């Protein structure tokens, strides 16, 4: 609510005088009233309403249904619909829907409710078509209510269908779609307004803006509250972001550690806590616009979060005066006004709003102002006020409702997606083992982590792990494994802590008890008492050379870690940091007891087990060198030096045949050179990839824009063609297999450059693979 909102009703008083014969007189008298000095109280100037507006239920209803300019809401509706239409082809997955929903394939899925299942593939395409048409209808303001219902019904169905795809911004899209369904978003710049003049450019009740503004304030503010977590404040949550090129300007004056602590974590905390409030007030809004816009533009480059940064940018103008589009578009040439939104301020009245009625009497002639009373409140207006208050309360409560849904709590509370704890927790998985046991024969075997599923998020959530185990128990009998028991041994590090177990590996998850309303009994506690060790981790890592790697492990009393050391890790040792452990070399059948500070070398290419003997959790670290990679890097260095000598003409010795491709690679950098020696071949491939990365990073703005547009074009193209194929299948049936194969191959066609640069590992080689 703002000061200009408070005057929205005053502009239409003249249209609601008690006597219809005095309408024209009241309109003529309306203009001099604007010249009167401002009599608003300080509170009304700042917040847009008076204290008296909150003194009774009736006054609150009148306030929330105050007539307000529909312009800003109409522009937001249009932008939201456009962004959702784009989002459907990308993050919702229309362009790769056939990979996500595999007809007939044994796939484990993770719906919110187990009875929810995807429709057959062709029908899923139809669901997406309905959602897409709904988004277009919202954007155009065409058949507005129906379009909103089409969008949110299909959107929430797809949302509930897969918990592994949940995140905060996808949840936010669904909330905004639901809110728009109840709002009068088609009163400005809409096709409905062209078809129905009665609603064109008509007022909307103030609660339409109130709900949206408070929703965005909650997103920012609760995200800031969540960032008061010690891990975020101390700079452990997103420390890797400081290495991104976007923060290079800060690294000119600050070391990387300070950029991470002050800019990434400190700046994110302050912005989230203050952004909603700074956007609310006139005096601070310009500064908030700058910082919020800069923040979201950076996020669009840092993370793969689809339309979220642009959606948040689209919400910022909601905090401005509602008539800002009229003032903005009034500066455009007259010849463009036909296609642009309305700029005139003569807004029509609406039955959704509460207008004050002016009763003129003979006393008015003696200088006494007319008496204004609100019109009679309707049920619709009361329901709008009730919805606004209850919705805001619910949105403030829901992020802290995890004491109810305790079964979804793990090391972090609740179903990730509605708590606004954005980027507060980062995880790394070191070891995942799935063990099955035949219930009849007792045979024990191991499964590939992630078998029968396309997601990896089940490793961090007990409810998904239960669903995954249940699914595996139903699929394994197909492979002659009867009544299988399923055990998971998952090691996770959260926010740079020790790698530790998240679930009890001794529990058969198939038969394990789980309830959404009770704590998970087989969840292992997070060893928060060991968090201070992270400072020592940095000290230890600082003493290592570039080829030495290290992994920090913490384990519970009575448990053991079974590990296999790859033959590539030719120099691996275990050193105890806390507690007491027993190391068993399986092949040698030998046991070694280690205490604080003691170290032992473990053989490569063999299994070993580490038992925790102490009564408190044990802590130890693996120190290892990838000898194969070290030798490869040494060969790369020699080949690079040789290549440099060839280029500058200082190499006088004739090259053997296996090194001749080094010369050919210099002569023709754009083509792939055949090499018989595997090391030379890998070296040339790496060189080619690095040249591609360098070329992409040094590309100009137009080339980057063209590359982005081409990539999006082929993704949208594939989604469109596959949708046409699916709808054709529903209407006329499946064609011959040869024809279907040709159609899918045509839809899969990619730009020539993409076909020659599919290796995503080049990001890892340059140090930004985690982004």
- Catalytic positions, please? 227
DSSP state of 404: T
CB 156 within 8 A of CB 162: no
**What are the beta bridge partners of residue 235?**
none
Q: How would you classify residue 413: left for phi > 0, otherwise alpha for psi between -120 and 50, otherwise beta?
A: beta
Residues 6+ apart with CB under 8 A from 242: 251, 256, 257, 259, 260, 263, 264
CB 592 within 8 A of CB 574: no
Residues 6+ apart with CB under 8 A from 205: 64, 65, 66, 67, 68, 184, 350, 352, 353, 354, 381, 384
**CB-based contacts of 642-649 (< 8 A; 24+ apart in sequence):** none
Q: For residues 455 and 465, what is the distance between their CA atoms, to the nearest angstrom? A: 12
DSSP state of 115: T
Residue 612's SS3 state is: strand
Residue 229's SS3 state is: coil
Give me 190's structure tokens.
């809409």
Q: For residues 311 and 332, what is the distance between their CA atoms, to the nearest angstrom? A: 25
DSSP state of 673: P
Dihedral angle sign, alpha carbons of residues 194, 199, 202, 205: negative
CB 383 within 8 A of CB 352: no
Give me 716's structure tokens.
């949208």
CB 285 within 8 A of CB 279: yes
Give me 315's structure tokens.
């919400």
CB 322 within 8 A of CB 209: yes
Q: How would you classify residue 414: left for phi > 0, otherwise alpha for psi between -120 and 50, otherwise beta?
A: left
Q: What are phi and psi of 165, to 5 degrees?
A: -95, 5
Exposure on the CB side of residue 239, measured as CA atoms within 13 A: 16
Q: For residues 260 and 563, what is the distance between their CA atoms, to the nearest angstrom? A: 34
Chain-centre distance of CA 62, in angstroms? 38
Q: For residues 317 and 311, what is the distance between their CA atoms, to the nearest angstrom? A: 11
Q: For residues 174 and 308, what is the distance between their CA atoms, to the nearest angstrom? A: 12
Q: For residues 287 and 279, what is the distance between their CA atoms, to the nearest angstrom? A: 8
Give me 627's structure tokens.
């000898």
Q: For residues 582 and 591, what is the distance between their CA atoms, to the nearest angstrom? A: 7
**What are the beta bridge partners of residue 484?**
none
Q: Let me know if 370 is exposed, middle or buried by CB neighbors in 10 A (0-12, 13-18, 19+).
A: middle
Q: For residues 604 and 601, what is the distance between their CA atoms, to the nearest angstrom? A: 9
CB 127 within 8 A of CB 93: no
Angstrom CA distances, 23 to 15, 202, 228, 357, stand at 6, 19, 57, 12
Give me 300's structure tokens.
């669009």
Q: What are phi and psi of 337, to 5 degrees?
A: -65, -25
């Amino acid at each position: 609510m703002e000061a200009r909102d408070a005057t929205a009703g005053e502009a239409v008083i003249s249209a609601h005088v008690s006597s219809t014969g005095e309408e024209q007189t009241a309109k003529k008298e309306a203009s001099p009233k604007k010249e009167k000095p401002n009599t608003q109280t300080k509170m009304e100037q700042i917040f847009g309403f008076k204290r008296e507006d909150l003194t009774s239920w009736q006054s609150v209803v009148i306030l929330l249904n105050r007539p307000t300019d529909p312009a800003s809401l109409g522009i937001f509706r249009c932008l939201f619909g456009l962004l959702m239409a784009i989002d459907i082809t990308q993050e919702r997955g229309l362009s790769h829907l056939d990979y996500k929903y595999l007809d007939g394939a044994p796939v484990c899925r993770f719906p919110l409710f187990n009875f929810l299942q995807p429709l057959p593939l062709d029908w899923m395409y139809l669901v997406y078509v309905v959602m897409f048409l709904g988004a277009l209808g919202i954007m155009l303001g065409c058949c507005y209510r129906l379009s909103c219902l089409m969008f949110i019904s299909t959107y929430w169905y797809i949302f509930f269908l897969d918990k592994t795809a949940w995140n905060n911004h996808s949840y936010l899209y669904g909330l905004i779609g639901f809110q728009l369904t109840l709002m009068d978003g088609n009163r400005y710049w809409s096709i409905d307004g062209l078809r129905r003049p009665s609603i064109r450019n008509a007022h909307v009740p103030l609660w339409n803006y109130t709900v949206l503004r408070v929703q965005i304030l909650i997103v920012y503010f609760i995200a800031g509250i969540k960032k008061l977590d010690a891990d975020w404040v101390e700079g452990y949550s997103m420390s890797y972001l400081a290495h991104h090129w976007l923060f290079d300007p800060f690294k000119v004056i600050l070391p990387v550690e300070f950029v991470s602590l002050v800019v990434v974590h400190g700046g994110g905390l302050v912005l989230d806590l203050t952004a909603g409030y700074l956007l609310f007030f006139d005096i601070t809004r310009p500064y908030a616009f700058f910082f919020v816009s800069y923040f979201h533009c950076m996020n669009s480059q840092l993370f793969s979060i689809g339309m979220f940064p642009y959606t948040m940018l689209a919400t910022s103008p909601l905090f401005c005066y509602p008539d800002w589009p009229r003032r903005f578009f009034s500066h455009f040439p007259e010849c463009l006004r036909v296609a642009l939104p309305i700029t005139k301020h003569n807004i029509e009245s609406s039955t959704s709003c509460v207008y004050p009625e002016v009763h003129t009497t003979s006393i008015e002639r003696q200088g006494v102002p007319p008496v204004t009373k609100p019109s009679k409140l309707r049920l619709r207006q009361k329901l709008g006020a009730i919805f606004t208050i209850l919705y805001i309360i619910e949105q403030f409560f829901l992020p802290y409702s995890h004491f109810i849904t305790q079964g979804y709590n793990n090391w972090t509370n609740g179903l990730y997606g509605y708590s606004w704890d954005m980027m507060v927790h980062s995880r790394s998985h070191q070891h995942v083992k799935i063990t099955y046991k035949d219930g009849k024969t007792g045979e024990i075997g191991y499964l590939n982590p992630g078998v029968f599923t396309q997601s990896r998020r089940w490793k961090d959530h007990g409810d998904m792990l239960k669903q995954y185990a249940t699914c595996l128990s139903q699929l394994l009998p197909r492979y002659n494994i009867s009544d299988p028991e399923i055990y998971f041994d998952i090691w996770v590090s959260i926010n740079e802590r020790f790698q530790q177990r998240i679930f009890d590996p001794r529990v058969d998850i198939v038969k394990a008890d789980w309830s959404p309303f009770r704590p998970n009994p087989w969840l292992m506690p997070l060893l928060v008492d060991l968090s201070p060790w992270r400072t020592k981790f940095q000290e230890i890592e600082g003493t290592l050379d570039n080829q030495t790697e290290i992994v920090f492990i913490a384990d519970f009393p009575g448990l053991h870690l079974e590990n296999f050391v790859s033959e590539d890790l030719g120099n691996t040792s275990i050193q105890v940091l806390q507690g007491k452990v027993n190391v068993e070399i399986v092949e040698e059948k030998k046991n070694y007891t280690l205490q604080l500070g003691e170290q032992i070398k473990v053989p490569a290419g063999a299994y070993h087990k580490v038992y925790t003997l102490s009564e408190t959790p044990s802590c130890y670290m693996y120190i290892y060198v990838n000898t194969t990679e070290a030798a490869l890097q040494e060969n790369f260095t020699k080949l690079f030096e040789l290549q440099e000598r060839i280029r500058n003409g200082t190499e006088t010795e004739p090259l053997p045949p296996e090194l001749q491709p080094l010369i050919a690679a210099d002569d023709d950098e754009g083509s792939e050179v055949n090499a018989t020696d595997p090391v030379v071949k890998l070296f040339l491939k790496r060189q080619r990839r690095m040249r591609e990365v360098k070329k992409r990073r040094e590309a100009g703005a137009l080339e980057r824009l063209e590359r982005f547009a081409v990539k999006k074009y082929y993704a949208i193209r594939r989604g469109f063609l596959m949708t046409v194929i699916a709808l054709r299948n529903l209407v006329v049936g499946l064609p011959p297999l040869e024809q279907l194969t040709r159609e899918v191959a045509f839809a899969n066609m990619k730009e020539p450059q993409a076909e020659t640069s599919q290796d995503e590992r080049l990001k890892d080689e340059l140090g930004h693979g985690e982004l």
